[in-house]
Amino acid sequence: MSKKISIIVSVYNEEEVLFEFYRETIKVLLLIENPYEIIFVNDGSTDNTLQIAKEYMIKNENCIVISKKNTGLSDSRNMGTKYVKTPYFMYLDADDFLDRDTIGIIEKRLESSEKRLDIFKINVKSVSEEEVIVERNKSVELQEVKGTEAIIELGFIDKLYMLPTVYVFRTEYFRKNNFEFEYGRYHEDYGLIPFTVLLADNVTTTEETLYNYVLSKNSITRTKDNKKAIKKAEDTLYFYKQSILAIEELKKNQNDDGRITKQVYKKFKQLYTNGLIEKLKEMFKIIQTEKNEELRIEIEKFFENVKKF
């Protein structure tokens, strides 16, 4: 049977994680009658990640491995997307995993839709390293709606709607719109994912929490890096500016379908504004206690740049 879905997995120095990935994901997928394809993108790992990925490829003909120099997650996802040959694809982080019946559920929903889906979105739950459910994300159930309706419904209900890993994209639709994650910036999802939903003609979502986001102990206890937090805030402002300009251009030059109505335009801008407000709040908290004068100056500059736009 022809393959329908590709799963793009970007990896960097994750040799230990990949052993668990094999147990949780590949062995499960091997049981699926209708073949899938896993595309590993090795982002210049310096440990045994590449060797382990190649061993997967030898054991499973549905796995392919791409290796490149270390250029980051955005570039890895973009490269993996270029190698997709199936009608649909999705992203998966190596330290996360899917429920056992996820691919089967996805395929049934794709096949049962009256019209060809551009996007099918699953929901996510947070789990501990021991696979104990910590929290189920609140989302919304939508059945074959326009992307303009989907982005408004998701954006104001689903707090994790920007995660690229919870979307199954139609390959032709994704490529036709030249969607790419921007290289070298934090919060690249903030800059791209809302537009992938907005421009879709046919979107279906499910509230079923099929994607498991693993909360590692290291991530919970990591030391806060204010310099990195400032860079993330600056990149959020960058994507805010770019996205507002993009939606204005779409509204101005839209086709006869008039999908970007005044309401959609207003709500879409509000989504991006909400994201920027959260960063403003974070920077305000940091500057209250930050002792490093250079970082304080950077934060003040960020505030001034927000005022200018």
* For residue 218, pLDDT beyond 60: no
Residue 92: phi, psi to the nearest 5?
A: -145, 130
Q: For residue 230, what pLDDT band results from cuts at 50, 70 and 90?
A: very high
pLDDT score at 290:
94
Q: What value does the mean pLDDT of the chain take?
A: 90
pLDDT score at 68:
95
pLDDT single digits (tens) 67-125: 999 999 999 999 999 999 999 999 999 888 898 889 889 999 999 998 999 999 999 99
Sign of CA dihedral 32, 37, 43, 44: positive
| 113: nearest Cα among 204, 201, 199, 174 | 204
How long a stretch of residues is the chain? 309
Does 90 or 57 have the greater pLDDT score? 90
The pLDDT of 176-197, averaged and rounded, is 95
Report residue 100 CA to chain centroid gap: 21
Q: What is the CA radius of gyration of the chain?
A: 20
pLDDT score at 272:
95
* For residue 3, pLDDT beyond 70: yes
Does 255 or 247 have the greater pLDDT score? 247
* For residue 221, pLDDT beyond 70: no
> For the ranges 33-42, 131-140, 168-177, 240-249, which has the lowest average pLDDT?
33-42
pLDDT single digits (tens) 166-186: 999 999 999 999 999 999 999
- Whole-Å CA distances, 101 to 30, 54, 211: 12, 26, 11
pLDDT score at 220:
41
Distance separating alpha carbons of residues 32 and 15, to the nearest angstrom: 25
Matching residue, tokens 């982002």 = 43
Quote the tokens at residue 112.
């049962």
Residue 51: phi, psi to the nearest 5?
A: -65, -40
Highest averaged pLDDT of the listed ranges 28-37, 100-109, 273-282:
273-282
pLDDT score at 92:
93
